[in-house]
Structure 1
């Protein structure tokens, strides 16, 4: 009797058609033991955080918003001047890992792409999937958030594009530090704000508000990630005749909005129940509709 593994790992031999593969005469991808060692200590993804990633939610063996994630993956690679990823190879690896984990009701599928060993010219790529944590409480009870200054103006995309804001890089030490700061302040998560007071995004999520009858997300031109889950929820809104908008958003808007969510690929839609210690109402029914829609997506 077969059982579904807790995790699965596939190594891509040639993650880009524009760079040589790691090994000669091997399959384009291979399953390996997730608990064994596979990445060299000189890999620039390890030593410099010089690489990119995506996290794709999977429900009952179906990767969600896959093509949107792959498009963002390619954009991030271009921003870092990585060799263009072979999306067909990545798509096949994602499918293999997702199929291996199909027995789990929900899974997280991570694609990792690094520059490889410095001077070697061969990038490293792998897909790791694992059973998701239980996010029932976050989806139903909600999250307390704090706002933290990200330390730059909202227009940094035009003034300093070399800072790679808006690319999903492996350099997540600041995001992790922000989440620890939230815990120190008695909160669950963070909403980053620019130094001139504009709402940006969460460390691992997109901010979504319901204001004046519209579903709103911060934008445009804020050097934040293009939210795949937010885009799905805008499609949900369009089906139901709910107006949507990209707007510059302030902390005052967070407090005055009818509802606020942090939305992401694996946790889905989590209502915000307090901002900087100030309680706020949550739209329970709309949240439930969001999460049903996200769970039932077939693409």
Structure 2
């Protein structure tokens, strides 16, 4: 697929029950104009989104992504998306994806300023080739996020637990990481605890135990991290959640950034300190993450 595929969705009431939502989709050329200049997603980033990995035409972890989209919508006071309508839209988009890896994006915005309804659409496009990154690994730096670990409770209006379209800070963090000679970043709370990456979840291994920062403090609970944890548990491995001091990072016996499209990227250095790479387990994780998963 060289072109991008897009569906504009006519949002329906979340309480509406029906078997077929095909008439609520409008197929458009993603390269052609489709949104109003008054669309608040472009003016203010006022909306939420999800990115779903697609492997050989199979959309991965659709329901967890839709559940997280709904949670983000609730946090942002947006209408809760009708899960079955969006599931069918994802199925249509996935059917347009060829063999190999693609990415489907789900977007729900406030809509046109002073308009009566939100705007919703789904796109599908080829994914970048992350084969080398999964094999060779990435260098990361730590960046102060500027908030304490309790900020989500003290200031829920910051929407730190929602996956919003306001991604300027995340992109700025990646640019800063590149300026420092790294590939990615890990956010730290201002009181010295490990959070997440700008577009990924962090998994660390200490001895025989795997851990990730607890999904509090404004951390977005990663769908890929949850899937990896299911795989680890099925193999009898200990995986849990902790408050992780930043001082523990150099002690990690292995570390990964995991996300829906890049999958499991092993970390080779953190702030120029070498981190051991478990090549065998990384290969196993990516083999699992590339298998069909619902």
TM, length-normalised to structure 1: 0.94
In the alignment, is the contact (CA less than 8 A) between 1:42 and 1:117 conserved in 2?
yes
- 2:112 alignment counterpart: 117
Task: Tell me what 2:76 maps to.
Answer: 80
The answer for unaligned runs of 5 or more in structure 1 is 20-25
In structure 2, the partner of 1:234 is 229
SS at match of 2:196: coil
Q: 1:277 Cα shift?
A: 1.4
The alignment status of 1:203 with 2:198, answered yes or no, reads: yes
Question: What corresponds to 2:3 in structure 1?
Answer: 6
Q: 2:254–2:276: 8 Å Cα contact kept in structure 1?
A: yes
Preserved contact between residue 104 and residue 131 of structure 1 (Cα < 8 Å) = no
For the residues of structure 2 that align with 1:294 and 1:206, how far apart are their CA atoms? 14
Superposition deviation, residue 104 in structure 1: 3.2
SS of equivalent to 2:191: coil
SS at 2:23's partner residue?
A: coil
1:154 paired residue among 114, 124, 149:
149
1:22 counterpart residue number: none
1:164 aligns with 2:159: yes
The 5 A counterparts of 1:57-72 are 57-72=53-68
Question: Aligned partners of 1:236, 1:27: CA distance in 2, in Å?
Answer: 38
SS at match of 2:228: helix
Match of 1:23 in 2: none
Alignment RMSD (CA, Å): 1.4
Inter-partner Cα distance in structure 2 for 1:297 and 1:260: 24
Structure 2: give runs of 5+ residues left out of the alignment: 16-21
Residues 279 and 147 of structure 1: CA distance in aligned 2, closer, same or farther (over 3 Å): same
